[in-house]
Amino acid sequence: MKKHILFLVAVTCVLSACKKESLSPDAVLQSTTNTPQSLSAVATPELYTVRTIAGIFNAESQRPNLVDGPGPKAKFWKPHGISVSGDGSLYVADFFNSAIRKISIQNIVSTVPLSYNTDTGGGLLPEAVTISPGGTLYIVSTAYGIRIYNKAKGIDVYNRISNSDSNLDMEQDSKGVMWFVGDKAIGNITGTTIKRNLVDFTPLLASHETLRGIGLGPNGVKYVSTATQLFKVSAQGTITKLFPNVPFTFISGISVTKNGETLYIVDGNAVKKIKGGVITTICKPLAAADGRDGVGLNADVVAANLALSNSETALFVTDIRNVIRKVTIQ
C-alpha cells in the first residue's frame, strides 16, 4: 500500500501511498511568481512535464526543517509516501520531520496534528499515510509500527509488535481497506482491525530481503516489491514474479491504473512506466543534481514514492531533496 545508497544511509525508506484517488492533475501547481495556484484552468502541458509544486529544493537538511504555508514556501525533510484523499488533498509522510503533512487543493501545506504517544516518545518516522473517507489517518512507519488516528472520532490506535516493526508502504483499495507491506508479508487494516501476515513471501525471499512497495489493481490484484523484485498477487493469494530477468535497482513505490494495464514504479529513484511488458523511464536523477523542472528525461527527479491522480493524467511524486513534484502522464 518503506539502506539505499541513493536515499538515506542506514535508514530503511519508502513508501507509498493510499489508493491514489481524486486529485485533478492541475489542482496543485507552482507558478513562476512563487505563489500557489489552485484549480484554475491551465493549458495542457506537454507529456511527462515535471513541475515542483511544494517544498524548497535542498539536498541537505537546513533548519527549520518543517515550515507550513503556501506550497513554494513550505519545507519538508525527506518526504516518503504520498497519497490523495477523496477531497483532492495530498497527504505526505514527512519522514525525518516525523510528521504527516497535508497539501490542500489550494496548495497550502499544513502539519496534521497528532496526539503525543508516550510509547514512542513522540517518534513516528512515517513511510506511508492514507486517509479514509471518514477522515481517519492510517500511518505505517520505520521502527514505530502502525498508527490509526481520528481525534474527532476518538480513535487513537498504536500497534507495534517489536522495536524493529517497520512497515514500508500502504495503499487504500476501493472498499476503504488499507493494505500494507511489513517485513516479508502483506497485511491489511479494516477500520481499526489490523491483520498481519495475510500473504507470506518468506519462501521466495532471501534472508535479508523485505517487502518495500505495494500497489493495488482491480479485482483484488496486488503488486508488491522488494528492492529488486516485483511480484503480482492474485485475489486468492497466488504469487507470480514479474520480469525475472530485469535487474531492478531499488523499487520504492508502485501505483496502478484502475484497469490494471499500466504500472508506475519508482526504481533507483527514477519514475518508470510498465505497460504491455515494456518498461519506460519517464524521469530520473540527472548528474547536475539541481532539481530542475522540465520535460521527461530533461528534468532532475530523485523520487521516493508516487501517487496516481484519479483522472490518471498525472503522478504526484515525493523527491528526497525535500520537494513534491507533479508529472503529467497524459
Span 9-30, pLDDT tens digits? 333 433 333 444 333 434 444 3
In a domain, 87, yes or no: yes
In a domain, 284, yes or no: yes
Average confidence (pLDDT) over 196-213: 97
User: pLDDT higher for 115 or 18?
Assistant: 115
In a domain, 7, yes or no: no
CATH number (domain holding residue 178): 2.120.10.30
Does the pLDDT value for residue 252 go beyond 60?
Answer: yes
In a domain, 184, yes or no: yes
Residue 230 and residue 248 in contact, taking contact as beta carbons nearer than 8 Å: yes
One-letter amino acid for residue 323 of the chain = V
In a domain, 17, yes or no: no
Block residue for cell numbers 510498465: 274
Average confidence (pLDDT) over 207-216: 97
Q: Report pLDDT for 259.
A: 97
Phi, psi of 76 (to 5 degrees): -120, 170
Span 261-286, pLDDT tens digits? 999 999 999 999 999 999 999 999 99
Domain that holds residue 260: 48-329
Does the pLDDT value for residue 125 go beyond 70?
Answer: yes
**Average pLDDT for the chain:** 89
Does the pLDDT value for residue 47 go beyond 90?
Answer: yes
Q: Report pLDDT for 210.
A: 97
Per cent of the chain over pLDDT 70 is 87
Average confidence (pLDDT) over 1-10: 39
pLDDT class of 8 with cuts at 50, 70, 90: very low
In a domain, 15, yes or no: no
Residue 324 and residue 316 in contact, taking contact as beta carbons nearer than 8 Å: yes
pLDDT class of 37 with cuts at 50, 70, 90: low
Average confidence (pLDDT) over 106-127: 92
Three-state SS for 204-241 is HCCCCCCCCEEEECCCCCEEEECCCCEEEECCCCCEEE
Name the nearest CA neighbour of 93 among 14, 32, 148.
14
Q: Report pLDDT for 177.
A: 98
Span 186-204, pLDDT tens digits? 999 999 999 999 999 999 9
Distance CA 270, CA 94 (A): 20
Q: Report pLDDT for 42.
A: 53
In a domain, 23, yes or no: no
Name the nearest CA neighbour of 315 among 277, 252, 279, 272.
272
Phi, psi of 23 (to 5 degrees): -110, 120
Asked if omega into 64 is within 30° of 0 (cis), the reply is yes
Number of structural domains the chain divides into: 1
In a domain, 24, yes or no: no
- Please name every residue paired with 295 in a beta bridge, in sequence order, or none if there are none: 49
Q: Report pLDDT for 4.
A: 42
